[in-house]
Structures are given as structure tokens and as C-alpha cells.
Structure 1
Amino acid sequence: MDQEQRTEIEARAFRRLVAHLQTHTEVQNIDLMITGDFCRNCLAKWYKAAADEIGEELPYADALAAIYGMSYDEWKTRFQTDASPEQLRQYEEKQKRKEAPSA
């Protein structure tokens, strides 16, 4: 596989991931953070960083819209729910484990 083919495959996989996240709005960002240590906002930041790396101007709001399929504010209004006490506990526990020094 050459670099062009690899880039095309990666782009297709990325677009599929974004479409999957846009379809599964029931999956909250905190769920993604707990299980995968990333969320839609992280993905938008990575998307913007990739644009920056090639010298392409991409406002963060546009990167968010590319990932969410709508403005971030609209997504929050339509789909975001308050984190449950259990979700917050799991998230905080995960953060503590990340901060703990390795043995």
C-alpha cells in the first residue's frame, strides 16, 4: 500500500467514525471520556490541529461543527444530558488513575 492509498483509507475510516458519532447522539461525551479517554470535543481539537499542521485556517467552531454535524450549541441543546452522579464518579476515578505516578 502506498502513502496515497493509506491516506484515503484513513480518511474513509475517520469519516465513518464521525458519521457513527453523529448517528449515536445517545452516547454522551462523558461516556466516551470514561471508556475511551477522548470525546467529540477532543476529536474536533485533533481535526483543527491537523488543519493547522498543513497551514489551513479552520476556526475551532467549524471543527466542532464538522464533528458534531451541527453547531456545538445546537448539539448540546438537542442531545446533551446532565452527567449522572455515577458517570461523574467514574470520570473522576479515571482522572485520578491518570494522575497517579507509575510504579
Structure 2
Amino acid sequence: MEHLPVDVRASLRFFAFYLANGTIDLDLLDGIDYRPALFQFGSTLEQVFAIYCNVLQVDENGMVLNAGDAEYRAAQWIRAHCDQTYRVEPPFEAWETELH
């Protein structure tokens, strides 16, 4: 495969748009302006994209199977980063947060 499948690229594009727009998982992040916390330093934004990409599942035809799940797990990390009282359930597994 020379390039990421179109469905994967579209999923990443929408994720980046919602993230920058402040509209990632509005149910979980309603009222939390996470953008200053993520965009001030690159490593927090890097972690958000790592979680999204690590959780994202793609079938043999290059179709994304769980964009909503990947977005939700990234949103959980954002919420925990911005709200010290929030507890991620289930807790992240090492493979979800691994930087490649």
C-alpha cells in the first residue's frame, strides 16, 4: 500500500477538524475549552493523535470501522488532561497511548 486508504485519510481529516474546532465529543467535553491546553505545547496534541490512530481500526478494504470509538478514547484523554477529577473508564492500556 503506497498511501493510506481514502476512508482513513477522511477519518483523520474530520478528527483534526473537530479537534481544532473545539467540537470533539461534545457529550464528554461540553463546556471544556481544551484547545489552549493542547495547542500550547506539541506533546499533548501528539498524544491525542497517537491515541486516535492507535485505537482506529481499518478493515482489509481500507474502510474505517470505529472512528467514533477512536475519537471517544482521544476525548477521554483530553478530558483527563483538562479535568484532574475525571477518571478514564476503562483505563488506557499501554498500546493505546504508545507513541510510534
TM-score, normalised via structure 1 length: 0.29
Higher relative contact order (CA 8 A, sep 6+): 2
Give the structure with the higher percent helix: 1
Which structure's CA Rg is the greater one? 1
